[in-house]
Amino acid sequence: MKRSLLFCASLLLAASTPAQIQNATLGESAAKTPEISTEELRRALEEKSASVFDVRPSLEFAISHIPGSVNVAQKPGTSKALYVSDAAEIERAVGGKKSAPVILYCNGPFCGKSKRVSEDLLAAGFTNVRRYQLGIPVWRALGGLTQIEADGVRYVFPNDRTAVWLDTRSLQDFTKGSLTGAKHIRAEVTQGGKDNPAMQQAKNDGTLPSNDHNTRIVVFGNDLKLVRAISDAIAAAMSFSASTNAAEKPSTTTTASAAPSTGDGALFTAFVSVLRHPRCMNCHSRGDFPRQGDDGHPHAMNVRRGLEGRGVTAEKCSTCHQDHNLVGAHLAPGAPNWALPPPTTPMIWQGLTDAQICRSIKDPKQNKNRNLDQLVEHLTEDKLVMWGWNPGEGRTPIPMPREDFAAKVKQWQAAGATCPTDIR
């Protein structure tokens, strides 16, 4: 399916000018919600004039999504075959404003996910819903970059042996250590147009793929602006059919020792892997229930959040979870104040980018009205958070040493608590 859609996009390019293609839509008839073009989507993202939702499953989102888009949980009771994102989660994401501009996209012209979600939103009373029905395959075919998240890296790295990983850091830092098989790419590829000498050399020496321009290319580093600039240059040089992913360097999968900058959010990304770990994410995941295990499966007892985050009726968290771990493999874990975040501030991080997580935890409307000092105290001293390093027998603790995590959080605070910027 993916190959066919890209081929169709190539035919469109051959038949029209680039300007016409950027403003094209599928031209559906009798659709309940209007389409938008690639150019209209770009403009909405740049101007932040609409909330853009990727309505595919979470792993697909993590592997590759349009920068600036958000992913929400699956609608309860729906199947993988007829996947539908939960309209209630979208409503929550836009603060309950049903007049808010919403844009949906999925896997291309023949993908039904965005149509199904749009109909659910209309039924729920939303009044400004549009679809980018061309979807992510055509976005890529027209030169659009996509973004990969840490969960996506963990999936792609061992499973896509054809992927090309490009490290944008200095040659000195690259030689100290990088992802296995990664190649160094120089900043000079951004200088002098798409056929500049450095870009030609990268093509000739095998740094860039030459036999298959649909090869996945993942660009990473410790300077977000440089990552984006190099990604843009490669996308232009490799033609519209390149499938290029731009991402910040995932701190959990690299051995590089370059010191992070203090002004581009790198100090936050240095510790965000802790927030993404199952010991944290299982209580900050999508949906109205906790999760369990390293795979994040729903709680076996069908527990729900409840009015205070402590469960409902007889299924209160305290029924099984005490203020300490029970002794024995896989027995009930425990810590003081064992609970989910309350529904008024659910603090859902799953499906968010690093930048979105950062903004979320700093926002008093989402973090239980904590100021920055209180947030740092919560992250570094709260006994429920500290449980992640001592989760009980049979569970994987957070791998980053607790002292290192606390030091990095405080370093981030001291430098101004800057958040990363979403790649656009």
- Residues 286 and 386 placed together within one structural domain of the fold: yes
Same domain for 208 and 338, yes or no, is no
Per-residue pLDDT of the chain (424 residues; tens, 9 = 90+): 233 333 333 333 333 445 678 899 988 888 899 999 999 999 999 999 999 999 999 899 999 999 999 998 888 888 888 999 999 989 988 889 999 999 999 999 989 999 999 999 999 999 999 999 999 999 988 888 999 988 888 889 999 989 999 999 999 999 999 989 999 999 999 998 888 999 999 999 999 998 887 889 999 998 888 998 999 899 888 753 333 344 433 332 222 233 344 455 788 988 998 999 999 999 998 888 899 888 888 888 888 898 888 888 777 888 889 999 999 888 889 999 999 898 888 888 888 888 889 999 999 999 989 999 999 999 999 999 999 999 999 999 998 989 989 989 998 998 889 998 765 4
Tell me which of 122, 141, 160 is where a domain ends. Answer: 141
Count: domains in the chain: 3
Residue 4: which residues within 8 A CB-CB, separation 6 or more?
Answer: none
- Output the CA–CA distances (angstroms, integers) from residue 424 to 48, 63, 214, 419, in the order listed: 11, 16, 21, 15
Containing domain of residue 154, as a range?
Answer: 146-256
> 128 and 62 share a domain?
yes
Length of the chain in terms of residues written: 424
Nearest to 110 by CA among 194, 13, 26: 26
CA atoms of 183 and 206, how far apart (whole Å): 9
The answer on 232 and 194 residing in a single domain is yes
Could you say which of 119, 141, 163 is where a domain stops?
A: 141
Rg of the Cα trace of the chain? Answer: 22
The pLDDT, as a whole number, for residue 307 is 87
Residues 288 and 395 in one domain: yes
Note the pLDDT of residue 5: 33
Which backbone phi and psi does 199 adopt, to 5 degrees? Answer: -70, -40
- Does 407 fall in a domain? yes
Residue 263 inside a domain? The answer is no
* Identity of the amino acid at 46: E
Residue 361 falls inside a structural domain:
yes
| Residue 239 pLDDT | 58
Q: Name the residue among 304, 211, 123, 18 with its Cα closest to residue 115.
A: 123
Q: Do 291 and 372 share a domain, yes or no?
A: yes
Contact 349, 274 (CB under 8 A): no
118 within some domain: yes
CA angle 366, 325, 401 (to 5 degrees): 65
Sequence-distant (6+) residues with CB within 8 A of 169 are: 178, 184, 221, 222, 223, 249, 256, 258
The answer to the question of residue 423 being in a domain is no
In a domain, 421, yes or no: no
| Final residue of a structural domain among 256, 282, 305 | 256
Whether residue 305 is contained in a domain is answered as: yes
Same domain assignment for residues 74 and 193: no
CB atoms within 10 A of CB 382: 13
Q: Are residues 161 and 135 in the same domain?
A: no
- 277 shares a domain with 244: no
Same domain, 114 and 192: no
CATH value at residue 116: 3.40.250.10
Q: Are residues 218 and 341 in the same domain?
A: no
Asked, for residue 97, whether it belongs to a domain, the answer is yes
Q: Do 105 and 242 belong together in one domain?
A: no
Please report, in angstroms and rounded to a whole number, the separation of the first and last CA atoms in the chain: 26
Cβ–Cβ under 8 Å, residues 394 and 329: yes
